[in-house]
Amino acid sequence: MTVDRAQSRGDQVSEVLTGAQMLCRLIREQGVEVVFGYPGGAIMPMYHALPEYPRLRHVLVRHEQAAAHAADGYARASGRPGICLATSGPGATNLVTGLATAQLDSSPVVAITGQVPRAMIGRDAFQETDIIGITLPITKHSLSVEDISELPEKVREAFAIATRGRPGPVLIDIPKDVQTQRAAWRPAVVPAAARPDASPVPTALGDDIGTAVRLIAQAERPLLLLGRGVILSGAYAEVRALAEKTGMPVITTLLGISAIPESHPLHLGMPGMHGEVHVNRAIQQADLLVGIGLRFDDRVTGNTAGFAPRARIIHVDLDASEIGKNVSVEVALVGDAGAVTRRLLGAVAPRGCDPWWAEIDTYRRERHQQYRGDMAPETILSAIRAASGPGCTIVSDVGQHQMWVAKHYSYEEPNSHMTSGGLGTMGFAVPAAMGVHFARPGRPVWAISGDGGFQMNMQEIATMVQEGLPVKMAVFNNGYLGMVRQWQQFFHGRRYSATPIWSPDFVKLAEAYGIAGYRVEYAREIEEAVARAVREPGPALVEFIIEQEANVFPMIPPGGSLSEPIEAAPAGAPAA
Partner 1 sequence: MSTPVPAWTIAAVLDDDLIVVERVIGGIRRRHVPIGDLAMGPARGHGVLRLTCSTHSDWPATQRLANQLRRIVGVQAVSVHAAGDCLTREQALVRVRATPSRLGTLLDTLALYEAVVIEEQFAALVVQVTGTAPFLCTCLRALEPFGVLDVARGGAVVLSPGDATTGGAAPAARPAASAPFLSPDAIIALSPESR
Residues with catalytic function: 64, 126-127, 176, 483
At residue 549, what are phi and psi to the nearest 5 degrees?
Answer: -110, 40
Among residues 24, 243, 566, 482, the alpha carbon closest in space to that of 252 is found at 243
- Residue 108 CA, distance from chain mean position: 10
Contact segment (CB under 8 A) with partner 1 among 19-27, 130-138, 420-428, 560-568 equals: 130-138
Binding of partner 1 by 321 (CB under 8 A): yes
- Candidates 119-127, 315-323, 377-385, 481-489: pick the segment binding partner 1 (CB under 8 A): 315-323
Is 156 a residue that touches partner 1 (CB under 8 A)?
no
Binder of partner 1 out of 35, 49, 71, 143 (CB under 8 A): 143
Through-space distance between the first and last CA atoms of the chain, rounded to whole angstroms: 66
Least Å from the CB of residue 159 to partner 1? 13
Spatial distance between the Cα atoms of 30 and 244, rounded to a whole number of angstroms: 37
Q: Which of 154, 325, 443, 532 binds partner 1 (CB under 8 A)?
A: 325
Q: Let me know: does 356 contact 249? Beta carbons within 8 Å.
A: yes
Question: What is the greatest pairwise CA distance in the chain?
Answer: 89
Residues 34-93 that bind partner 1 (CB under 8 A): none
The span from the CA of 112 to the CA of 174, in Å, is 7
Residue 106 binds partner 1, judged by CB under 8 A: no
User: Residue 143 or 481: which CB sits closer to partner 1?
Assistant: 143
In the complex, minimum distance from the CB of residue 328 to partner 1, in angstroms, rounded to a whole number: 8
Q: Does 161 bind partner 1 (CB under 8 A)?
A: yes
Per-residue string for binding with partner 1, 163-192, x by CB under 8 A? ---x--------------------------
Work out which of 10, 54, 137, 200 binds partner 1, going by CB under 8 A: 137
d(CA 338, CA 379): 35
User: Nearest approach, Cβ of 321 to partner 1 (angstroms)?
Assistant: 4
Q: Are 230 and 256 in contact (CB under 8 A)?
A: yes
Angle at 170 between CA 437 and CA 168, to 5 degrees: 65
DSSP label of 85 = E
CA dist., res. 77 & res. 328, Å (int) = 32
Query: Using CB under 8 A, which of 10, 54, 133, 572 touches partner 1?
Result: 133
Q: How far apart are CA 263 and CA 573, in angstroms?
A: 35
What are the φ and ψ backbone dihedral angles of 321, each rounded to 5 degrees? -70, -15
Q: Does 132 bind partner 1 (CB under 8 A)?
A: yes
For residue 554, is the peptide bond before it cis, meaning its omega torsion is within 30 degrees of 0?
yes
Amino acid at 440: R
- Residue choice 116, 243, 277, 323 for contact with partner 1 (CB under 8 A): 323
59 CB-side CA count, 13 A: 32
Binder among 150, 262, 319, 412 for partner 1 (CB under 8 A) = 319
- The reply on whether position 100 binds partner 1 by CB under 8 A is no
CB of 327 to partner 1, least distance (A): 11
CB of 163 to partner 1, least distance (A): 13
State the pairing for strand pair 516-520/472-477: unpaired
Rounded-to-integer distance, Cα 307 and Cα 283, Å: 8
Please say whether the beta carbons of 34 and 56 come within 8 A.
Answer: yes
Q: State how far the Cα of 380 lies from the Cα of 374, in Å rounded to an integer.
A: 10
542 - beta bridge partners? 474, 518
CB 211 to partner 1: min, Å? 20
| Binders in 216-245 for partner 1, by CB under 8 A | none
Per CB under 8 A, does 320 bind partner 1?
A: yes
How far apart are CB 398 and partner 1 at their closest, in Å? Answer: 23
Q: Give whichever of 104 and 143 is closer to partner 1, judged by the CB atom.
A: 143
327 binds partner 1 (CB under 8 A): no
Least CB distance to partner 1 at residue 144 (A): 7
For partner 1, which residue of 25, 140, 274, 401 counts as binding (CB under 8 A)?
140
- How many residues bind to partner 1 according to rule CB under 8 A? 17
DSSP H or E segment with residue 84: strand 82-86
Residue 407 binds partner 1 (CB under 8 A)? no
Cβ proximity to partner 1, 137 vs 350, nearer residue = 137
Using an 8 Å Cβ cutoff, are 66 and 36 in contact?
Answer: yes
User: Which residues are near partner 1 by CB under 8 A?
Assistant: 132-133, 136-137, 140-144, 161, 166, 319-321, 323-325
